[in-house]
């Protein structure tokens, strides 16, 4: 068993691509919706574990801009689950000092879901123990396009544009870049997730499907991270 004190170092920001709900359900002869519901239960447990490890920033990839290509019934059900669980999530966040952030466009989301998201952001705005960012209706390329559009509309002079300024126009403007990106479900790609912010992140891929993801796999990921030597393009110390 690991603890925050017996690792060399812990990441400040962990981002997770939560993949495998549908396959988890299929393996058990259940409808995909059952996998998504179980996945939401897993999400709260995972947040609780990262609170124990005192990780101040956690970003969860909930629904991508490409997920709109799924059957309408499944998309509608995913949004329905989010609506149902956000109120419970707000209560959990308030009890644990969690600030909830939304990464992505509210446009196109059901109005009730937009209202719940707005309420969650407002009520938890002043919480400081941990920031949990929920990326839904989010796409990394779309985020970069939106940032570029905002720079143009802001009449920013081209010579004033640099990486630091550009980052301030992203959805993650006040959040540090992820140190560790975890993907469950066995796939080994970013799937349009935080593609600007993950330039120097460490990556941990696990075959475990999201509903089965828990402390054992989190510990493996944190041990893996603690053993990495992050050089950011430089040379290791002699």
Active site residue 142: no
Main-chain phi, psi angles of 160, to 5 degrees: -90, -10
Q: What is the C-alpha to C-alpha distance for residues 170 and 189, in angstroms, rounded to an integer?
A: 21
SS3 of the chain: helix, strand, coil, percent, to 5: 45, 15, 40
Within 10 angstroms of residue 186's Cβ, the number of other Cβ atoms is 13
User: What is the structure's pLDDT at 13?
Assistant: 98
Contact in structure between 179 and 7 (CB atoms under 8 Å): no
Measured in whole angstroms, how far is the alpha carbon of residue 131 from the centre of its chain? 11
**DSSP 8-state secondary structure symbol assigned to residue 35:** H
User: What is the structure's pLDDT at 18?
Assistant: 97
Task: Tell me the pLDDT tens digit for each residue of 146-171.
Answer: 999 999 999 888 899 999 999 999 99
Break the chain into its structural domains and give their ranges. 13-141+177-226
Measured in whole angstroms, how far is the alpha carbon of residue 24 from the centre of its chain? 20
Q: What is the C-alpha to C-alpha distance for residues 69 and 183, in angstroms, rounded to an integer?
A: 21
User: What is the structure's pLDDT at 107?
Assistant: 86
Among residues 6, 19, 137, 142, the one annotated as catalytic is 19
Contact in structure between 13 and 56 (CB atoms under 8 Å): yes
User: pTM score, two decimals?
Assistant: 0.92
Active site residue 67: yes
Q: What are 178's strand-pairing partners?
A: none
Among residues 67, 96, 127, 192, the one annotated as catalytic is 67
The answer to whether domain 13-141+177-226 has CATH 3.40.1180.10 is yes
- Low-confidence stretches of the chain (pLDDT beneath 50): none
């Amino acid at each position: 068993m690991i603890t925050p004190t017996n690792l060399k170092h812990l990441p400040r920001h962990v981002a997770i691509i939560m993949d495998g709900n549908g396959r988890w359900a299929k393996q058990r002869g259940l409808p995909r919706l059952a996998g998504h519901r179980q996945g939401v239960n897993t999400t709260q447990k995972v947040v609780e574990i990262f609170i124990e490890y005192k990780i101040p920033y956690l970003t969860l990839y909930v629904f991508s801009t490409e997920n709109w290509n799924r059957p309408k019934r499944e998309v509608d059900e995913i949004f329905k689950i989010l609506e149902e669980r956000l109120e419970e999530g707000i209560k959990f966040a308030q009890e644990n000092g969690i600030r909830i952030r939304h990464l992505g466009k509210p446009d196109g989301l059901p109005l009730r879901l937009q209202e719940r998201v707005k309420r969650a952001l407002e009520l938890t705005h002043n919480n400081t123990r941990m920031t949990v960012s929920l990326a839904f209706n989010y796409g990394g390329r779309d985020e970069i396009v939106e940032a570029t559009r905002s720079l143009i509309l802001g009449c920013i002079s081209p010579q004033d544009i640099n990486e630091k300024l550009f980052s301030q126009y992203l959805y993650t403007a006040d959040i540090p870049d992820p140190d560790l990106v975890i993907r469950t479900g066995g796939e080994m790609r970013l799937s349009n997730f935080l593609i600007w912010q993950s330039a120097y992140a460490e990556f941990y891929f696990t075959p475990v499907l999201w509903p089965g993801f828990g402390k054992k796999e989190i510990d493996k990921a944190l041990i893996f991270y603690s053993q990495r030597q992050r050089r950011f393009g430089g040379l290791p110390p002699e």
